[in-house]
A and B are shown apart, each in its own frame.
Chain A
Amino acid sequence: MYKKSILLVEDNPDDVLLTRRALRQSNILNEVVVAEDGAQAIDLLFGKGPEDPSRLRPELILLDLKMPKVGGLEVLKHIHADDVLSLIPVVVLTTSNEEDDLIRSYRNGANSFIRKPVDFDQFVEAIGQMGLYWLVLNVGTPEPE
């Protein structure tokens, strides 16, 4: 079953709460599915196999980089290598602004890179603009029948 959801991959529960709040305040009302680390995200996205009907097909993936077990870049690589998943826009949402992280993220197929500001007002602003762009303005790939 296809869900028009947002997948939030984030290990910090505070950040999960704040991101949900920011999305809500920016009037982005899509269902938010949370994966607490990279491994969970891969489980959700790939299921038991390509034909698994419970496979998650989000409209947007918000991905943190620094996580236990499997990091964000690893998840990015898996997504990029998959025919179907590579069509989903991935926004790297992270605290880091290391140039290395930036370059590696784009190289591995990230569509956008946003550094989470400390100031919550700015954070809401950033999430709002990001949501508006990727979920409203941007024309994505057609939905599979």
Chain B
Amino acid sequence: MTLLFQTRLIAALLFLVMLTSTVIYFRAASNLAETIRTNDIVAEIVQRVFDLNILTTEHLNLRSKRSLQQWEQSHASLTNILLKSAHDLDTNRLTALNRIRRDLVNIRKLFFRIIILEKRQAPTSEQLINGVKSQLNITAHEIVSEASGLRRRLVYELANEREKVNELLLWTATSLLLVMLATGFWFQRQLLRPITALKKHTEALTDGDFDARTTVRGKGEITDLSIAFNYLAETISQKIHALNVALGAAEASNKELEAFSYSVSHDLRSPLRSLDGFSKAILEDYEDKLDETGRDYLKRIRLAATRMGGLIDDLLKLSKIAKQDLQVGSVNLSDLAAEILEDLKQANPDQTIKFTITPALKASGDKKLLRIALENLLENSVKYSSTKDVAEIEMGQTIVPGRGRCFYVQDHGVGFNMAFKDKLFATFQRLHHTREFPGTGVGLSIVERIIKRHGGSIWAESEVNEGATFYFLL
């Protein structure tokens, strides 16, 4: 049974209990109301019979026309009450009422017999009148006793009805309580227990125990959820295993790379030193035996060796950036850029450098690495502005549509052809000849690597001879 079905079942059960109780309650209440009404009617009948008795005695004493009229009125209204109430009474009570009605007709007959007998004024009639009078009295008594019986029955019924309503209330309360208890039990069994089990499972997962499985059984949503959880754990476990394997491979290759870069730094440089050193030695010791071309060739060998040394050093720098751990903190890029540009001014005394930096550019990242990135970017700006009279460099923050708020470094130097923008950040790729602008083609690779290590991105826009703008996000 699914949870949804069970919940609906409980709701339906509750609704049924409520409905039944309400129906029974209203029926009992209406019975009660009817009994009370009948009781009122009977009480009135008794009262009227007493009134009629008094009026009978009064008329027999006074014999006025008015008292006769009163008697007639009283009798008529009593009959009226009986007729009216006959409509809405059940058969049991109706029999009693019919008996009362018959008695009432008798009373009327007896009453007029007394009046006729008294009008005759015969000497024998005194005894006869007294007989009829007592008969009338008896009939009145009969009505009263009949009514009293009815009332007693009614009181008994009333008490019964009350008892019934009370019982009903008790029954409703009990069944509600039972349904609630059952719901509570069901809730605990169907929901709380499996949820607790699932919670324990997630805790185990959080602690890294991906082999843990939940043991919720049965059919229904919670079991489905539990199966989904197990599946999730299984998937995570597999992914972690795959990651661990990849990590192991990465660690191994990282170690290889370290060994490689160590031997690059050590073994590749030594021959270069020999090339340069011995070229120099020839230039010094055998100068007189060489002509201009020979000396030029040796100088070229020396330059090439030194350049290759530079390349190797840059390559090592690049690989070191990938290895270094990030130490993230708040970095003021404006201060950093200002410091770097001041150093660049001192290093390039022949160049006029003007810079505008938006103050308080804050970023979160590794200060040492961001410094290296900015150094490379700003050095480039200065370098590629060297053909201009004044190197104008700007750094700030702007919003680029589709990219969001990013930093930028802008110069008005020689720029580059946007057709080659894909080669811009590639290692050892240069968009200018070394004789125009010296360099190894590693600087922007280093910048890109640093920005990427921060989870950011970098791109550039330029126009030849109009300058270049480098945008970066951190």
Contact = CB atoms under 8 A, between A and B. Distances in A.
A49 to B, nearest CB: 34
Contacts of B274: 12, 14-15, 18
B266 A15 contact: no
A118 B302 CA distance: 9
Contacts of B272: 118
B280 interface: yes
Interface in B252-302: 262, 265-267, 269-274, 276-281, 302
A120 B269 contact: no
A119 B276 contact: yes
Nearest to A25: B284
Interface SS of chain B: helix
Interface in A112-144: 116-121, 123
B306 interface: yes
A95 B270 contact: yes
B266 A96 contact: yes
Nearest to B274: A14
A77 interface: no
B270 A21 contact: no
A96 B312 CA distance: 12
A120 B266 contact: no
B309 interface: yes
Contacts of B308: 118
A66 B280 contact: no
A77 B272 CA distance: 30
B378 interface: no
Nearest to A13: B274
A94 B266 contact: yes
Contacts of B280: 120-121
B305 interface: yes
Looking at B269, B273, B305, the one whose CB has the most chain A CB atoms below 10 A away is B273
Interface in A8-47: 12, 14-15, 17-18, 21
Given A118-B305, A118-B306, A120-B280, A96 B273 contact: no
Contacts of A98: 262, 265
Nearest to B312: A118
Contacts of A97: 265, 316
A118 B309 contact: yes
B270 A15 contact: yes
A120 B302 CA distance: 9
Contact of B265 (A95, A119, A120): A95
Given A118-B306, A121-B280, A14 B273 contact: yes
A18 B265 contact: no
Contact of A123 (B266, B267, B277): B277
Interface in B301-318: 302, 305-306, 308-309, 316
B232 to A, nearest CB: 43
A123 B266 CA distance: 16
A118 B265 contact: no
B277 A96 contact: no
B276 A96 contact: no
A116 B312 CA distance: 14
B20 to A, nearest CB: 86
Interface in A71-98: 94-98
Contacts of A17: 277-278
Contacts of A123: 273, 277
A94 B309 CA distance: 15
Contacts of B266: 66, 94-96
A12 B270 CA distance: 8
A120 B262 contact: no
B262 A15 contact: no
Contacts of A94: 266
Nearest to A22: B277
Contacts of B270: 12, 14-15, 95
Contacts of A117: 273, 309
Contact of B309 (A12, A18, A119): A119
B277 A14 contact: yes
Nearest to B281: A21
B276 A118 contact: yes
A28 to B, nearest CB: 17
A18 B308 CA distance: 19
B465 to A, nearest CB: 34
Nearest to B272: A118
Nearest to B310: A118
Contacts of B278: 14, 17-18
Given A14-B278, A123-B277, A118 B262 contact: no
Nearest to A94: B266
B262 A96 contact: yes
A119 B306 contact: yes
A116 B265 contact: no
Looking at B272, B276, B278, the one whose CB has the most chain A CB atoms below 10 A away is B276
Given A18-B278, A119-B302, 15 more contacts: A14-B273, A14-B274, A15-B270, A15-B273, A66-B267, A95-B273, A97-B316, A98-B262, A98-B265, A117-B309, A118-B272, A119-B276, A120-B276, A120-B277, A123-B273
User: Which 7 A/B pairs are nearest by Cβ-Cβ distance?
Assistant: A118-B309, A14-B274, A18-B277, A120-B277, A120-B280, A118-B272, A95-B269
18 contacts: A12-B270, A12-B274, A14-B270, A14-B271, A17-B278, A18-B278, A66-B267, A94-B266, A95-B269, A95-B270, A98-B265, A118-B276, A118-B305, A120-B276, A120-B280, A120-B281, A121-B280, A123-B273
